[in-house]
Amino acid sequence: MDLDDTDRRLLRVLQKQGRISNAELSERVNLSPSACHRRVARLERAGVIRDYVALLDPRKMARPTTVFVEITLSGQADEVLEAFEKAVARVPDVLECHLMAGTADYLLKVVAEDSEDFARIHRQYLTRLPGVTRMQSSFALRTVFKTTALPV
């Protein structure tokens, strides 16, 4: 889908303020409310806007600890990858799972209350994932920068 400057302005605002009213959004991007509504609906239908979500504060949800876990599997066969991906998707504390190129096969982003809680997650879930031969965990000391907004 070709995005023009107006679409890009709409997307920049919506990525930062997903609950903005159509009236306020139309004012911010210099469109009439009806034209603004049509454009947003078109972006939604095209799948450019995939969803609207509430972003929760991990500290207020008692999950201030972020751990990145590198996973190496026993092999690259489709069955091994599929079994791992199906199982890891059921782990409630895993926020992200990425198939990687490089030394690890997967990179997980895990949230926990603290190191003891991560030990529980590790013991209860991660060690039981199929096909895993190696795991390396790195604790984030501080989040310097974080955004959900893609460049548009």
**How do residues 62-79 score in pLDDT, each as one tens digit?**
999 999 999 999 999 999
pLDDT at 32 over 90: yes
Q: Where are the domains of the chain?
A: 5-45, 65-139
Pick the CATH number of 65-139 from 3.40.50.2000, 3.40.630.30, 3.30.70.920, 2.60.40.1840: 3.30.70.920
Question: What proportion of the chain, given as a percentage, has pLDDT over 70?
Answer: 100
Q: Which CATH number fits domain 5-45: 3.40.50.11610, 1.10.10.10, 3.40.50.150, 1.10.260.40?
A: 1.10.10.10
In the structure, what pLDDT confidence band is assigned to residue 87 with cuts at 50, 70 and 90?
A: very high
Q: Does residue 84 register a pLDDT over 90? A: yes
Give the global pTM. 0.91
Q: What is the mean pLDDT of the chain?
A: 97
Question: How do residues 112-137 score in pLDDT, each as one tens digit?
Answer: 999 999 999 999 999 999 999 999 99
Strands (E), 2-152: 65-73, 94-99, 106-112, 132-139
- Cα–Cα–Cα angle for 86, 125, 88, rounded to 5 degrees: 20
| Strand ranges (E), the chain | 65-73, 94-99, 106-112, 132-139
- Among 77, 71, 76, which residue's Cα sits nearest to residue 125? 71
Residues contacting 74, CB < 8 A, separation 6+: 80, 131, 132, 133
Q: How far apart are CA 33 and CA 152, in angstroms?
A: 22
